[in-house]
Structures are given as structure tokens and as C-alpha cells.
Amino acid sequence: MKLLSICIAGLCFFCGAFAETPRIAEYCAKILDDSTYVPLLIKDLDEPIKEWNYPDSIPCEHTPCHANWKTKSKVFFPYDIECREDGLVGLLGGGGGGIAVCSHCPKYPIKLERIWKLRLYGSKDEDACCRKSEDYEDKATFYLRNARESLKPFYGQVFKGRWKGEWDTNGNGEFPPMKRDFLARLVGECNDTIPVVEYCVNGGKNAELHLTNYYDVLPKLTFADGKKMKCEGAMRVEKSYEMDFAEYGKRKLAHFVEQDTCNATSVVATKVYLPIPKYIGADALKGIPMKSLYGKSIPVMSKNVLTCNFNSIERNVLLYVRVGGKCTKHDLQEKKKQNIFELEQVEDIQLHTKSIVGHWETCGDGYICPAKCTEVKDLLP
């Protein structure tokens, strides 16, 4: 099949054009149907941003006072059906960070957080030939006839990409955007063995792991259709997260239970909040040599079981995590135990269709939980 020359010409690797770009991002192709696919990020650039020509803070001239670092990216992957004006247009979604808000204090200094790495994850997909997909509505979806077979000649090839980061200050200052060209390799069709998260290694004799990235291939698990479900009495959720270090054994890093204590009606989120730890301490990795972790892909079993309306719903999944190199000082997570309350599935407690929670309590940074009728127990020794 002959692809449109306007889509393919110059998109594959062109010798020397981006010799100054030291790193290459990686994507896999998620085939949706015979004529569409979604490129999913599986390895980020993580390129250090050495020049940061922005002030530490700016004054707020009018409210609301906020500054948001937004990024966009685009990769010129192959397609052979052009976008049209009938809805097949570029799709935007996701991205951002570094928010500071003040709603009633003009002249309040707005902090511009220093960004240390150029990352593609979380960027908006910009100006791509795409359509909405229920599962990937925030991702660029490309049209390519007989996609599964037509993409095979392009696997392993490198394509041009561009990235842009800029401050949205809500009119409290204008700054030039930061722009970078980069290269992206389409490695092949997506599969279940591709790592979904990445850690770096820190410490000397005693190794510890710090989470550096999530990726687009992270499974989207749900206990049921829709956004919420009601469980009449005896609601229970049990979750665990266990990494398999081969000859060094399996290490259970999360294991807890959330359960109803009032025999009321629990309103439960159907999206499964996976217990992926941001920090794995030396105690959990005892006996594992630091150097043996570098560059490894480690299998993880995540078990998630909901008991609702006397039915047991299991959503277990085998994941893989990638362990990169040694952490930089900007990669380090807080050395604290995972807050299991942030992973609660219960969103409300009802009796005769009315909420009986009474009040909510803070259970984590930016999280609130029901103050009664739900008990969370850590089952780790």
C-alpha cells in the first residue's frame, strides 16, 4: 500500500538533523480497529532542562493569582487518511502542573516553580489526525488503512517530534515559550509486558527506589461500568501490590483492606485506584544489591477485589515496572510510607438515599475521606 507522500516524506529518521538531541522517546502502537491506532508513550525523554530563563516569582496584578506550566507535544507518526473539517481534527487533553492560586490578594507573589526535566508524559497531544475514542479520548488517534499490517515496516524507525512548554499566568505576565525538537521511536504494537511505571535507584549499600514516571500503557481497571456503584452493606475492598525480584524473592509493598462498618449503602468509585508506591525503602529491598536493579524490567502483581452486594469482583493485573539508573536529586520522592487512605474507593455513605457521612476529614494531600462508617486497615506486618 502506498501512503500519502505528504504524510510520510521526511517523517522517518533523517540523518544528522537532530544530532544535538541526546535522547529518544519511545512509543508503542495501540491498534483500535482496522484503520485507527493510538501511539502510547512508553519511555520518556527525561531530558534535563539546563537553561531556565524565568523568574522565581511574579507579582499578581489582578485576581485570581495563579501560574500554570503547560506543555504540548506532537510526533509525526504515519497516517494515510487526512483530517477533515467534519470533526476529524486535533484533540487536546491532559498535562499541566505547578499551580499556585490566590483568589483575593492582588500583588501577591506568584511562584513560578522550576521545572528540571523535559517530559512528554502529561503533555497535550497537539494538532494530530485523530478522532475521539472512549478509552483514549485524550490521545491522538491516527488513521491508517489496515493499521496492524501497514505499521509493521515502520516499527523501529524514528520520527520527528516537537515539544513546547509555557506559563499560563492568567494575564499576570507574559513569557516566551520553551521549544524543543526531539526524536521518537515507534517500537512496535503495545503488549502487556511493556513497563507501565519507572523507578530510579538511590542509596549506597542499601538500595531504595523512587518513582519517576507513569506511562500511557498503565492499565485502566474498573470494577463495573459507569463512574459509581452502590453496595448495600458488607462492602469490602482488598488491595495488594507485590514485586517479583526473581532470585531475591517477592516483596509485598502494599496490602490493605477498606470495609463498611455501618451496614449502610457505600457509594464506590468504579475506577480502580492502583496502589503504586512512590517510594520503596531499603527495608523492603533488604538483601537486593543496588547494581542488580539497574535496567531491569520487574513483574508486579496487583490484586484488587471488591465485595459488593454479596458479589466478589476481582480486577487483578500483572504489570511490569522499569528500573532506570541512579536517581538525581530532582527525582527523589518523600521518604514516607504510602498513604493508603488516598486509595479509598468509597465516595459517600448513604442511608435511605441520603448521605450520612456528616463530615469529611483530610486523609492525604488534596484528599478527603468519609469520617465514619468506613474503616481502612493496613495488612502489612
Bridge partners for 319 per DSSP: 300
pLDDT reported for residue 228: 95
> Which DSSP category does 4 fall into?
P
Q: Is 120 left (phi over 0), alpha (psi -120 to 50) or beta?
A: alpha
Q: Which three cell numbers stand for residue 198?
A: 519507572
**For residue 175, what are the contacts with CB-CB under 8 A and spacing of at least 6?**
54, 166, 167, 169
The pTM of this model reads 0.82
pLDDT reported for residue 131: 53
343 within 8 A of 273, measured Cβ to Cβ: yes
Q: What is the DSSP string of 37-86?
A: EEEEEEE---EE-----S-SEE--SSSSEE-EEEEEEEE----SS---SS
Contacts 24+ apart (CB under 8 A), 355-358: 356/262, 356/264
Rounded to whole angstroms, the Cα distance separating 151 from 1 reads 11
pLDDT reported for residue 381: 84
Compute mean pLDDT per 10 residues along the chain, 381 residues long, and list them.
Answer: 40 42 85 92 92 92 84 91 44 37 68 93 72 68 92 96 93 91 96 95 89 92 95 92 95 96 91 95 93 93 96 96 93 92 91 76 79 88 84
Residue 309 dihedral angles phi and psi, to the nearest 5°: 55, 40
Q: What is the DSSP string of 288-311?
A: --GGGGTT-EEEEEEEEEEEETTE
Please choose, from the candidates 182, 256, 187, 268, the residue with its C-alpha nearest in 3D space to the C-alpha of residue 223. 268
Residue 6 dihedral angles phi and psi, to the nearest 5°: -70, -20
